[in-house]
Structure 1
Amino acid sequence: MSLSGRTILIGVTGSIAAVETVRLIHALRRKGAEVQPVMSQAACNIIHPDALTYASGRETIVRITGHVEHVKYCGDEGIADLFLIAPCTANTISKIACGIDDTTVTTCATTALGRKMPVVLVPAMHHAMFRHDIVMKNLETLKESGIVIVGPRIEEGKAKIAGNDEIVLWCERLLSGRPLAGKRVLITSGRCEEPVDDVRVLTTRSSGKMGRALAYEAFRLGADVTIIHRDEVIVGRNIHVKSASSMGDAVRAVIEEKVPDIYISAAAISDFAPDYKPGKIPSGSPVSIKLNPLPKLLDLAIGTVPVTIAFKLGESAYIEAEQLLLRGVTMVLGNRPDNLGAEEGHYTIIDSFGQETVDGTKQETALAIFERIIARHL
């Protein structure tokens, strides 16, 4: 588990989003973290400390006592690895930015900032409060102090707290040691759709799960991530495309903008495009569709991107892998058709150092891929 052996101090302030904290604590603990709650008095008026005690398995801190809890967790020898403030109100943002520590949460924040430990702040409030000029300036001040701000979702006139998955990802990133810090990772993911007529498309069964797992793992490890696909990931840069040609245009544009350090071609990129027929092809009679071969997008990266990873599907994957390695591809993932859309899969990592078999979830496979990249190819 990615947060095993880590202690996270979670500060809860007086936003109605405090009612989501129980679920957030559970999400962190499922990743292996020990979670210690600390609440401001305003937060205690919204959710009872006993709820967080139950969720965390630790007595919630509601006041600083003779045990000097802020030093125990956030001092120079403190036992917390990260201070997460979620939700964080406009009041708490401004107090921390100005060095005011008159609540349990702000006192812990002042101590944590003095220690230079990782701090993550997750705002939640009405949108009018969030976009206040002084609050915006205070958020910039906090960023300059090294605090990570996980921005809210602007919905229904409110700056709603970020989702638990995104918050957990940021915690994982800050505690991973960030071996990919400063590295740019470009990933293509999921299926392409080639129009047959105005109604029908030619596509594959690819779900994009492997590409998303790779994007999240690269983010956890500290990389600057760009993913080109038709879906959405909650971190990094999303570029949305549908067809192989639009995916190729996007890959070309990203490489021309600045060559990434790692390119992973995890998408089921179309090998063929049908002759497009305007309108709708009438049903009820046999139809012949001519399929025209499409260029290989991998060629855009070979010889340009330092580390290039390809996926190859089917029985010929191993033969193709040898050919790709000779052409300059860094690593090839041998894939099986039954991996498409599945939660778990069987893959073979092939590079100049040999082969490695990986069985497990898409996240476990993504971690194995990056561990091999870091160990052998960077």
Structure 2
Amino acid sequence: MLEGVNVALGVTGSIAAVKTVELVHELRRRGAEVRGVMTDSARGIVHPWTVEFATDNDVVTEITGEVQHVDLCGYDGWADVFLIAPATANTVGKIAAAIDDTPVTTCATTALGTDVPVVIVPAMHKPMYDHPGVLEAIDAVDEWGVEFVDPRIEEGKAKIASEEAIVCAIARAAGPAPLEGERVVVTSGATAESVDPVRVLTNRSSGKMGRAVARACYVRGADVTLVHGVVGPRPLSSDSGAGDVPYAAVREVETAAEMIETTREACVGADTLVSAAAIGDYTLESRVEKIRSGQDVTLELESTAKLIDEIRADRPELPIVGFKTETAGDESTMIAQARETLGRADLAFVVANDASVMGADETRALLVHAEDAARFEGTKAGLGGEIADSIAAILSVE
């Protein structure tokens, strides 16, 4: 996600600075090059040698005649993004007042003067975060276009945001924003229909593909709503494989009917819908009491409504991206089925894939348009990017 991005990392004197090494490793794992800048207070928590080892670059601990701030964040400087993580209340207040008496605040002043994107990740005790002056400083700097990554409020502390949230914010700040100002709704995961108070009828979808699309759209500047069906059936908040979702407003649902109704509400004023969820094709009347084991049972299934048809009826002009999963494994069959759905619901395009990729990180898919079909093979994150770029191209000509 951060391939080719140069990140100047400012570290200040919050105890959350102990997480700096882990954060640097994650940034580099995602493809970024990192150079560290530290305040004196930060050096009392993490030794500069530690940051040097993690980044594999020299660390700036003072501004000298080499004008390191200009080298990093000046016109034609090295950095694509200046990230301050963690940022103390002291540092946020100084940036808002244009006080640059530390290497970090001097780099921030320089970056703001040269339009280098700045991402600030606050971390402090909650009473400090709630101080009117700190909140005023955050609002002031936010108006300048600085990206703030909200802290996690836990145990009376405004803790540093997750690595996922920080990575997404950097990618959004550093990259092009072809979807800026657009509202995108993405459905993900599986729905479940209650058989009795214990059992449900569901499917194998993990929701990874929908989350990849939502993340890719967010990184490209979109305002994203993720309508997420239960997985396994577990809500997203308890799915250890999902992690947090800093890139979207999440609305969790369980049944197909709930998925349709929540998506309908989310699509009011939306610019695009990506229907990636594996919505159950059948529902049934749930038994009031648990069905006893050891007996044969016949379940009467009824067809559920098709989400894309329901939304199309409400929003005839809305660009909708559909997904079509098949088990045949034959490309011609997949394309034919995708084009049938494409025509029936007047979709922008359809992503056709084989059921064997459900739950996997890697995928194989066909992006099927009315006149052609493009093959994709790689990660679901990569496919999410392809889908987001296609959406941007469609919206740009409307």
- Using the size of structure 2 for normalisation, the TM-score is 0.91
> Structure 1 residue aligned with 2:337, among 320, 339, 359?
320
> Structure 2 residue aligned with 1:355, among 368, 373, 385?
373
Shift of 1:377: 5.9
Q: Deviations over 1:31-78 (max 9, x none)?
A: 222211000000000000001111111110000000011111112232
* Correspondence for 1:332: 350
CA distance in 2, matches of 1:344, 1:288: 37
For the 8 Å contact 1:262–1:305, the answer to whether it is kept is no
CA distance in 1, matches of 2:207, 2:74: 43
Shift of 1:141: 0.8
> Structure 1 residue aligned with 2:257, among 230, 233, 245?
245
Q: Deviations over 1:219-246 (max 9, x none)?
A: 1111111100142522221011111111
CA distance in 2, matches of 1:289, 1:324: 28
2:68 counterpart letter in structure 1: E
* Correspondence for 2:83: 84
Shift of 1:205: 0.6
CA distance in 2, matches of 1:320, 1:238: 30
Shift of 1:320: 2.7
For the 8 Å contact 1:261–1:305, the answer to whether it is kept is no
Q: Say whether residues 1:108 and 2:126 are aligned partners.
A: no
CA distance in 2, matches of 1:5, 1:228: 32
Distance 1:374 1:255, change over 3 A: closer
CA distance in 2, matches of 1:376, 1:142: 34
For the 8 Å contact 2:165–2:246, the answer to whether it is kept is yes
* Correspondence for 1:59: 58
**Counterpart secondary structure, 2:167:** helix
Which has the larger displacement, 317-326 or 22-31?
Answer: 317-326
* Correspondence for 1:268: 278
Distance 1:377 1:349, change over 3 A: farther
Which has the larger displacement, 26-35 or 158-167?
Answer: 26-35
Shift of 1:146: 1.2
CA distance in 1, matches of 2:371, 2:108: 47
CA distance in 1, matches of 2:301, 2:335: 26
Q: Say whether residues 1:125 and 2:124 are aligned partners.
A: yes
CA distance in 2, matches of 1:305, 1:130: 44
* Correspondence for 1:296: 306
Q: Say whether residues 1:50 and 2:68 are aligned partners.
A: no
Shift of 1:208: 0.5
Q: Deviations over 1:263-304 (max 9, x none)?
A: 111101011101211111122110101001111111133353
For the 8 Å contact 2:208–2:380, the answer to whether it is kept is yes
CA distance in 2, matches of 1:358, 1:57: 35
For the 8 Å contact 2:14–2:124, the answer to whether it is kept is yes
Shift of 1:376: 5.2
Which has the larger displacement, 314-323 or 223-232?
Answer: 314-323
1:19 counterpart letter in structure 2: V
Q: Deviations over 1:106-127 (max 9, x none)?
A: 1111111111221000000111
Shift of 1:306: 3.1
For the 8 Å contact 2:120–2:147, the answer to whether it is kept is yes
CA distance in 2, matches of 1:364, 1:353: 23
Which has the larger displacement, 363-372 or 235-244?
Answer: 363-372
For the 8 Å contact 2:147–2:173, the answer to whether it is kept is no
CA distance in 2, matches of 1:376, 1:262: 10
CA distance in 2, matches of 1:51, 1:88: 19
Q: Deviations over 1:139-189 (max 9, x none)?
A: 111101111110100111111000111101110111111111111111110
* Correspondence for 2:175: 176
Q: Deviations over 1:12-44 (max 9, x none)?
A: 000011111111111111222221100000000
Q: Say whether residues 1:344 and 2:354 are aligned partners.
A: no
* Correspondence for 2:233: none
CA distance in 2, matches of 1:224, 1:153: 21
Distance 1:205 1:121, change over 3 A: same
Distance 1:321 1:377, change over 3 A: farther
CA distance in 2, matches of 1:185, 1:178: 14
CA distance in 2, matches of 1:135, 1:159: 13
* Correspondence for 2:267: 255
1:362 counterpart letter in structure 2: K
1:134 counterpart letter in structure 2: G
Identity among equivalent pairs (%): 43
CA distance in 2, matches of 1:204, 1:253: 24
Which has the larger displacement, 55-64 or 310-319?
Answer: 310-319
**Counterpart secondary structure, 2:133:** helix
For the 8 Å contact 1:14–1:42, the answer to whether it is kept is yes
**Counterpart secondary structure, 1:225:** strand
Shift of 1:305: 4.9
Unaligned 5+ segments in structure 2 are 231-235, 238-244
